[in-house]
Amino acid sequence: MQKITGFFTELMRKYLPDPFVFAIGLTLLTMALAVLVEGQGVMALTTAWGKGFWTLLAFTTQMAVILTMGYVLATAPLTERLLDRIVDKVHEPRMAIIVATLVGGIGSYLNWGFGLVIGGIVARKLALRVKGVHYPLIIASAYSGFTLYGLGLSASIPVLISTKGHPLEAQMGVIPLSETIFSPTMLVTALVVLVTLPLLNAWLHPKPGQPVKEIDPALDDSKTPKVLVSTDEDIADSKTIAHKLNNSRILSGLIGLMGLAYVIIFFRAGGSMDLNLINFIILFLGIILLGTPIAYVEKLNEGIKTIGGIILQYPFYAGIMAIMAASGLVETLSHYFVQVATPGTLPFWGLISSFVINFFAPSAGGHWVIQGPFMIEAAKSIGASVGHTATAVMLGNAWNDLIQPFWILPALALSKLKLKDIMGYTVIMMFWIGIVYTVAVLAWG
């Protein structure tokens, strides 16, 4: 296994570029495929690309908000104390890998934005506290838990199609979560991933005597000396009304409770969970946990450092999705798989085609808007389960995310590593998750 891991790590080190370069390359590849396969003109595709470039702007903002505010929530004093208690009980490298995977996985099952952030944070804490931990592997392990979001409470496609008024309701109706992520097969699948993935990741850790890359001690913020010198001006400022308002626990408590009250009223009125509400909850929980307005602002400014790559690259993926939709490439890919499917195997082909399409459209919501209509029509035409097929598309998305630079960016920002440092490990993890998801989908079918 060490030889296989070393092979993929070295392969990625030599040939895998920065995620932004990857996004540019995918743009050019999609253009080329649209011209060669679909016979589209370059001018028309360039126009579609330009028009679609900003179509994910609202989604980009939502992602930036969920990651920065998720960072605040994951680094709040209460959360920090909980994570420190967990970390203090770990003393062996392989156990550190297991814990990092579990924290990232459980966090992602509850909410994918929270899981992305808290997994990276606990991995860094473990790498600093446990001697001999291979730093690239523990970061990759924490990120690998992200695949559980496809089976979890914030799985985009199942949550979307369970909501009245969703874009494809006229075509497929409303599919309850009991037929998707809460079906017995998917609950068992989530449990299998939660048990086996940490064990696989621990197995990948270098054996004693093999080279290990430990974390740079400079990344330990807790050891950075903080010299606080109070000047006469600081003392004077501390007596001002502005200072007292900035550090008011009463203000944070009142506005935090007001936010949570709205959430209760919203659900009592029959509202359903969506990305905006998730962001709303994370925002006001963070305000309450940080205690004062100024403490929240300062922690938020730290979190903003994690979203630079997202702001730069998401528009390029929006452009790729626009080329895919305008050229007919998605129809070609989906129909190819549909032609060889039966009612029992269509979800499997949905899984495979979703894995491929996710390279070009890595947002599950946007991915579903493109692929969903064709998969649902195919399911209806051959008598396959609509709920199973939609869930399989979700799993294909979550499976591909293990090697999709689009989502690894927050982990890289938190860890200060490069994509090539961890991708060799996530490729191995991707192979195992592919086996689990394939068996689950075929057994379900």
Q: What is the pLDDT of residue 374?
A: 77
What are the pLDDT digits (tens) for 235-268?
A: 656 678 888 899 999 999 999 999 999 999 998 9
SS (H, E, C) the chain: CHHHHHHHHHHHHHHCCCHHHHHHHHHHHHHHHHHHHHCCCHHHHHHHHHHHCCCCHHHHHHHHHHHHHHHHHHCCHHHHHHHHHHHHCCCCHHHHHHHHHHHHHHHHHHCHHHHHHHHHHHHHHHHHHCCCCCHHHHHHHHHHHHHHHHHCCCCHHHHHHCCCCCCCHHHHCCCCHHHCCCCHHHHHHHHHHHHHHHHHHHHCCCCCCCCCCCCCHHHCHHHCCCCCCCCHHHHHHCCCHHHHHHCCHHHHHHHHHHHHHHHHHHHHCCCCCCHHHHHHHHHHHHHHHHCCHHHHHHHHHHHHHHHHHHHHHHHHHHHHHHHHHHHCHHHHHHHHHHHCCCCCCHHHHHHHHHHHHCCCCCCHHHHHHHHHHHHHHHHHHHCCCHHHHHHHHHHHHHHHHHHCHHHHHHHHHHHCCCHHHHHHHHHHHHHHHHHHHHHHHHHHC
Average pLDDT over residues 417-441: 92
User: Residue 66 pLDDT more than 80?
Assistant: no
Least confident range from 26-30, 274-278, 354-358: namely 274-278
User: Residue 185 pLDDT more than 60?
Assistant: yes
pLDDT confidence tier of residue 2, bands split at 50, 70 and 90: low
What are the pLDDT digits (tens) for 139-152?
A: 999 999 999 999 99
User: Residue 318 pLDDT more than 90?
Assistant: no
pLDDT confidence tier of residue 182, bands split at 50, 70 and 90: very high
Taking the complete model, does pTM exceed 0.85, yes or no?
Answer: no
User: Which of the given ranges, 8-12, 18-22, 324-328, has the highest pLDDT on average?
Assistant: 324-328
Q: What is the pLDDT of residue 337?
A: 65
Least confident range from 6-15, 195-204, 349-358: namely 6-15
User: Which of the given ranges, 112-116, 166-170, 316-320, 399-403, has the highest pLDDT on average?
Assistant: 399-403
User: Residue 334 pLDDT more than 70?
Assistant: no
User: Residue 233 pLDDT more than 80?
Assistant: no
pLDDT confidence tier of residue 404, bands split at 50, 70 and 90: confident
Phi then psi for residue 215, to 5 deg, are -70, 145
Q: What is the pLDDT of residue 273?
A: 66
pLDDT confidence tier of residue 95, bands split at 50, 70 and 90: very high
User: Residue 228 pLDDT more than 50?
Assistant: no
Higher pLDDT, 1 or 210: 210
What are the pLDDT digits (tens) for 335-346?
A: 776 778 888 889
Percent residues over pLDDT 90 in the chain: 40
- Mean pLDDT for the chain? 85
Average pLDDT over residues 351-360: 85
Least confident range from 38-52, 70-84, 322-336: namely 322-336
User: Residue 322 pLDDT more than 50?
Assistant: yes
Do the beta carbons of residue 109 and residue 151 sit within 8 Å? yes
Average pLDDT over residues 420-432: 91
